[in-house]
Amino acid sequence: MKKDFIAITDYSSEEIQSLLDLAVELKKERLSGANRPYLEGKVLGMIFQKPSLRTRVSFDMAMRHLGGDALYLSPSEIGLGQRESIADVARVLAGYVDGIMARVFGHADVLELARWSDVPVINGLSDYNHPCQAMADALTIYERFGSLNGLNVAFVGDGNNVAVSLMHVCAKLGANFTIASPEGYEIRPDAVELGRKIAAEKGSRVTLLRDPHQAVRNAQVIYTDTWTSMGQEAETAKRMHVFPPYQVNSALLGEASPEAIVMHCLPAHRGQELTDEVADGPHSVIFHQAHNRMHAQKAILVQLLGNRQS
């Protein structure tokens, strides 16, 4: 049966950990200069409704390192759901490629692609979640601390798609997830309910706060993201008045654990959600985290498309 990668919550804790271990293995191979052709002859079709640096390059290079190829499809080339129905796009494209990665605005679009595609579909980002980013985040934390179980992860800012997937991967792997958001910018309730259900099963917790200072106390991980995501540009002026108290700066970092790392999925708006001093400081892992997009996604690609007997 075809397996997709649409949401962290579609996978068990054991499956998520297995993917992380595979990512570590593939990363070691890459750093040693050994790129084994797990995906030789395979092609990934990449559908983009939103522009991207990390998603496009990391998936493209991941396929190359694994012996395969990637085909970039821009918004104007497909017009997903406009020029042609999503169901038709999925069925046509599935006859040409071995897997589909889609970076979309609406989550319903990636679900519709997965419904009609005969090949695996990977969610490269939607308005609901960002599971590939969460896998890179978990890989980064795993490499630093050896485990997520029992760690305190604090997200400061907008309860957006990145926060949803980070919350869910923390819950799956036993980390305590705390988010501090302004009123009206919380994580959507259904995602929180699901996160809390998973966390309860793993003996961890999900906490929603207003105060960022309270959120980061005893945190080993501080995570932030842009105050205004793509598609929200009309809200920029309003958000610039609401979010300044949620800036991750040296004062806020000083209230966390001395071993704390600072994370950001990028692109960063320096001087807004994150100061230069923190972004370029000794606690920052934002570029290591960005590079881990490729390694985490390699594991997903090998799991969905590959034959590891290569």
Q: Which residues are catalytic?
A: 103, 130, 133, 225, 265, 293
Q: CA-CA distance, 155 to 163, in Å (whole number)?
A: 7
Going by DSSP bridges, is the β-strand pair 152-156/69-73 parallel, antiparallel, or unpaired? unpaired
Instruction: Write out the DSSP string of the chain.
Output: ----B--GGGS-HHHHHHHHHHHHHHHHHHHTT----TTTT-EEEEEESS--SHHHHHHHHHHHHTT-EEEEE-HHHH-BTTTB-HHHHHHHHTTT-SEEEEE-S-HHHHHHHHHH-SS-EEEEE-SS--HHHHHHHHHHHHHHHS--TT-EEEEES---HHHHHHHHHHHHTT-EEEEE--TT-PPPHHHHHHHHHHHHHHT--EEEES-HHHHHTT-SEEEE--SS-TT-GGGHHHHHHHSGGG-B-HHHHTTS-TT-EEEE-S---BTTTB-HHHHTSTTB-HHHHHHHHHHHHHHHHHHHH--TT-
